[in-house]
């Protein structure tokens, strides 16, 4: 076995076997990274299988991608992202968790220091691995779109980026993604467009200013059922979609 690898925990194997027996999907929702207690991390294979938690978790996030390997259906590719502003520690361990909080699998990760802006240079850290499960397994990713972080690679490949660094009217073409790179207002167009996408770049400190979506004259914005003329967006690196339904723009 390689020095670094991902393996099912005993509780994960039991959950998978139970799901297969009942014909039910196993939902993976989140991941944690840990520093192994701040020192060299050398657990045995049996210790990893028996583990129910990381030695010392330092960050928890939502998984943003899970897919079956088309060249090897017995394994799955899984990915999470540690954002730019989190870090100051060395990642040595990763846990992958089910929606009920059980640790489904664990990764012995190559030691990787996660820098932060205070270090003078910082970037996101994608956490990626392959997990051997079996070609008959029904494993799915259950996503909360309000907390999943999009990688820069995904954003740049999938969308046509529209920079928002001052007041701007949104573009309603399907492939456009409006990216706040400064505090600004994004005006919803008063036309026949029915949706548009936007996000805040992680270079923007959402606690120090406002990135706002502004409703067109005669319309309202609905956020979690609350109507208003302006919506303040407070989370970076999440791709939001505003959709016009019955005259109301819902985010």
Residue 233 domain boundaries: 162-250
Give the rounded percent of residues in the chain with a pLDDT score beyond 70.
86
Judge whether 186 and 213 are in contact, CB under 8 Å: yes
- Identify whether residues 117 and 43 lie together within a single domain: yes
Model pLDDT, residue 150: 59
- Identify whether residues 120 and 232 lie together within a single domain: no
- Identify whether residues 18 and 141 lie together within a single domain: yes
Q: Does the pLDDT of residue 16 top 60, yes or no?
A: yes
Model pLDDT, residue 54: 96
Give the rounded percent of residues in the chain with a pLDDT score beyond 90.
18
Query: What does the mean pLDDT of the chain come to?
Result: 81
Q: Domain holding 205: CATH number? A: 2.60.120
User: What are the tens digits of pLDDT across the range 188-223?
Assistant: 877 656 778 888 887 788 888 899 988 888 888 888
Last residue of a domain, one of 122, 155, 188: 155
Last residue of a domain, one of 101, 125, 155: 155
- Identify whether residues 91 and 184 lie together within a single domain: no
- Identify whether residues 204 and 140 lie together within a single domain: no
Model pLDDT, residue 141: 45
Residue located via tokens 């994608």: 126
- Identify whether residues 78 and 144 lie together within a single domain: yes
Considering its fold, how many domains does the chain have in total? 2
Confidence of residue 143 (pLDDT cuts 50, 70, 90): very low
Confidence of residue 32 (pLDDT cuts 50, 70, 90): very high
Q: Does the pLDDT of residue 134 top 50, yes or no?
A: yes
Last residue of a domain, one of 155, 179, 214: 155
CA distance between the termini of the chain: 47
Q: Pick the residue with more confidence: 8 or 150?
A: 8
Question: Lowest-pLDDT range, 140-144, 156-160, 205-209?
Answer: 140-144
- Identify whether residues 54 and 141 lie together within a single domain: yes
- Identify whether residues 10 and 31 lie together within a single domain: yes
Q: Pick the residue with more confidence: 122 or 189?
A: 189
- Identify whether residues 149 and 47 lie together within a single domain: yes
**Sheet order of strands, 240-245 included:** 160-164, 176-180, 195-200, 240-245, 248-250, 220-223, 226-228
- Identify whether residues 40 and 69 lie together within a single domain: yes
- Identify whether residues 177 and 144 lie together within a single domain: no
- Identify whether residues 72 and 166 lie together within a single domain: no
Confidence of residue 89 (pLDDT cuts 50, 70, 90): very high
Strands 168-169 and 185-187: parallel
Average of per-residue pLDDT across 96-123: 86
Judge whether 215 and 229 are in contact, CB under 8 Å: yes
């Amino acid at each position: 076995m390689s020095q670094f690898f991902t393996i099912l925990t005993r509780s994960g194997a039991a959950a998978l076997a139970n799901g297969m027996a009942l014909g039910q999907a196993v939902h993976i929702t989140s991941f944690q990274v840990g520093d192994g207690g701040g020192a060299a991390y050398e657990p045995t294979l049996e210790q990893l299988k028996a583990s129910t938690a990381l030695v010392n978790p330092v960050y928890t996030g939502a998984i943003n991608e899970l897919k079956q390997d088309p060249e090897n259906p017995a394994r799955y590719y899984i990915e999470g992202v540690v954002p730019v502003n989190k870090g100051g520690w060395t990642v040595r361990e990763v846990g992958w968790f089910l929606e009920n909080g059980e640790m489904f699998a664990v990764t012995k990760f190559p030691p990787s220091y996660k820098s932060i802006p205070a270090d003078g240079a910082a970037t996101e850290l994608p956490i990626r691995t392959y997990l051997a499960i079996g070609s008959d397994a029904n494993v799915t990713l259950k996503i909360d779109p309000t907390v999943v972080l999009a990688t820069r690679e995904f954003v740049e490949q999938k969308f046509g980026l529209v920079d928002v660094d001052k007041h701007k009217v949104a573009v309603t073409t399907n492939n456009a993604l409006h990216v706040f790179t400064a505090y600004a207002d994004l005006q919803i167009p008063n036309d026949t467009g029915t949706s548009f996408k936007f996000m805040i770049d992680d270079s923007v400190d959402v606690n120090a200013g406002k990135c706002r979506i502004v409703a067109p004259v005669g319309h309202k914005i609905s956020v979690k059922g609350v109507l208003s003329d302006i919506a303040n967006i407070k989370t970076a690196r999440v791709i939001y979609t505003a959709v016009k339904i019955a005259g109301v723009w819902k985010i």
